[in-house]
Chain A
Amino acid sequence: MNSPTSEFVHTTIELDMSWRYASGDEMERFLNGIAQRLIEAIRCPQCGRRYLPPRPFCGRCRVRMTEWVPVADTGTLVAWTVVHLPIIDGRTGEPRPFPYGMGLIQLDGADTALNHYMATADPELLTIGARVQAVWRDELEGAMDDIMHFEVMP
């Protein structure tokens, strides 16, 4: 046992890491669509649920999905928050400037909701049920952040 006065040696390690992930067919098609400002959901042949993000299987019905349906870049805000902390952005490894608004958006034509940033960080402007629209980057790269954030429609 160590006496209460003993000093422990701590070691500090710094590490840069990178990852490379395969998308799978469904996400590949979805991202190819995003590169052309086209959002598509995948539909379950059994329950009819239109899934975003698209994925191979409906978890509820346990069946393979193959049918694609178009989804608008407008939708309804179904949840919101304003974050007041420096949370790490998992794509860059850097903390995002705060405060920033976040929302769960149910896009018109989809049955699941998308979590994304909101253009405003003013809680007064964010209400569940608000109509929202995607704000796209000028140069599209086929990634989710081609949509920079959503803004509340006037």
Chain B
Amino acid sequence: MTSKMTPETTPETTSRAMTPVAIIGSGQTNHAKERSDVSQPELVREAVDAALQDAEILPEDIDAVIFSNMELFEGRAFPELWVAEGAYGNGKPVFKVATGGTSGTSACIAGFHQAGSGIFDTVLVVGFEKHSEGHTQTGMALVDPFWDRSVASGALGNFALSISQYVSEYMAGRGVTEEHAAQVAVKARRNAANNPHAHLQMPDLTVDEVLASRMLAEPLHLLDMCPQSDGAAAIVVASRDTARKRGKAAAWVHGAATRHDQPYLGDLDRRLVTTRAQRSAAASAYAQAGITKPLRDLDVAEIYEPATYAELAWYEALGFCEDGQAGRLIDDGITQMDGELPVNPSGGVLSTNPVGASGVIRVVEASTQLLGRAERRQVDGARTALATGYGVYAWSDVIVLRSEMP
């Protein structure tokens, strides 16, 4: 910012490495524009049963349930009330996390903390959203009633504003071009074609088609943006002892951090460029996990990219490259399936976005990669995986998983 007296620093939270916990099973629904074949509880049950089956445990083995969901997007008050039986929650501790796009990853982190606390041995984390039955745009419109309610309605305009600053830096040696962004769109939708759960699967999409798609808000084309999907995802988190006693493969949590930042879009100078919250979360999670060179140390990443440009900004924030090098990273194919660090083999949020579930899906995908069960989207020999969450423009989560116990 302009004033000399205003340092661009966030008050730091010191985080200790937590007691080790593991993801012992995961599952997700098939995601689609409209899952009118199921009710909300049935949608949840579908993901939960898949996760329990994957973990080879029974409903009575679950000690607590954490939901991730954004309720206005569902069209029902406290959706977790209606769907908790879908997650076998009756008579058990049931909690909910709702922080926009980070809801899912934050719910997973809450599950890690609970299983690591010694209070619960086995925790089920469930994210779900049924946008087709709710009013997502109305929910997004309920911002500050005095300040920017007319202007800030919907995520799109605010994304576009942040992105205009990122793009504008290209001439100054930073930032990215429309073509860089379009390559991210192509990578996501082509990868999604290998993921039977994904909503948008476009195996033949080209950069030209992305650039020719309808302009939504300069410089964002239709195919630069995530869809709205119906879907659910779940993970089963176990304490160290419980996970060890099973004697089965698991995805171990080596680092997890969540950060919140100032609320108004204009509070931070060049928010998408500075990405203060995500850099801070990454620094903490990497330190916990002993990651010093992310591009080398990580084998696969599932990151929360609601727009193509966001993925490029996250490359820099997550330390995959130096600041200003995100365009080169996508140009050089580093983040493609056959690159040094495949990013979003699942197709990512750009291909599937049931908001409350999207963060959980990142963790499901990351842990599935570590267990070698990702089928056609499997990254061979993946042993260290990253999952991230991004909420509105104020929350960031970073999680590092490994196939080995810490």
Contacts and interface: CB of A to CB of B under 8 A. Distances in A.
Contact of A49 (B5, B137, B161, B214): B5
A111 B2 contact: yes
Interface in A17-59: 19, 21, 23, 27, 31, 47-53, 59
Interface in A80-108: 80-85, 87-92, 96, 102-104, 106
B144 interface: yes
A79 to B, nearest CB: 4
Q: Is the interface of B mostly helix, strand, loop or mixed?
A: loop
Contact of A21 (B146, B161, B168, B219): B146
A112 interface: yes
Contacts of B3: 48-50, 111
Interface stretch (B7-15, B233-241, B381-389): B7-15
B36 A8 contact: yes
A144 B144 CA distance: 11
Interface in B133-178: 137-138, 141-154, 156-158, 160-165, 168
Nearest to B37: A2
Interface residues of B, number: 52
B6 A102 contact: no
Given A79-B164, A90-B152, A53 B264 contact: yes
B37 A112 contact: no
A2 B37 CA distance: 8
A123 interface: yes
A119 to B, nearest CB: 14
Contacts of A71: none
A91 B266 contact: no
A4 to B, nearest CB: 8
Contacts of A96: 150
A123 B167 CA distance: 14
A78 interface: yes
Given A79-B161, A90-B142, A123 B218 contact: yes
Interface string B267-279: 1011000000000
Contact of A87 (B9, B143, B153, B168): B153
A114 interface: yes
Contact of A81 (B142, B164, B270): B164
A90 B149 contact: yes
A112 B137 contact: no
Nearest to B142: A90
B151 A102 contact: yes
28 contacts: A8-B37, A47-B5, A49-B5, A59-B262, A59-B263, A60-B9, A80-B164, A81-B164, A82-B218, A83-B156, A83-B217, A84-B216, A88-B137, A88-B153, A88-B154, A89-B141, A91-B149, A102-B160, A104-B165, A104-B265, A106-B2, A112-B264, A112-B266, A113-B266, A115-B152, A115-B265, A115-B266, A144-B146
Given A91-B150, A115-B151, A123-B218, 18 more contacts: A47-B5, A49-B3, A49-B5, A53-B144, A60-B9, A80-B218, A83-B160, A84-B214, A84-B217, A88-B141, A90-B145, A90-B150, A102-B160, A111-B6, A112-B267, A115-B148, A116-B151, A144-B148
Interface of A: 2, 8, 10, 19, 21, 23, 27, 31, 47-53, 59-60, 62, 78-85, 87-92, 96, 102-104, 106, 111-117, 123, 128, 143-145
Interface of B: 1-3, 5-7, 9-11, 36-37, 137-138, 141-154, 156-158, 160-165, 168, 214-220, 262-267, 269-270
9 shortest interchain CB distances as A-B pairs: A113-B266, A48-B5, A90-B141, A81-B160, A90-B149, A79-B161, A87-B154, A53-B147, A90-B153
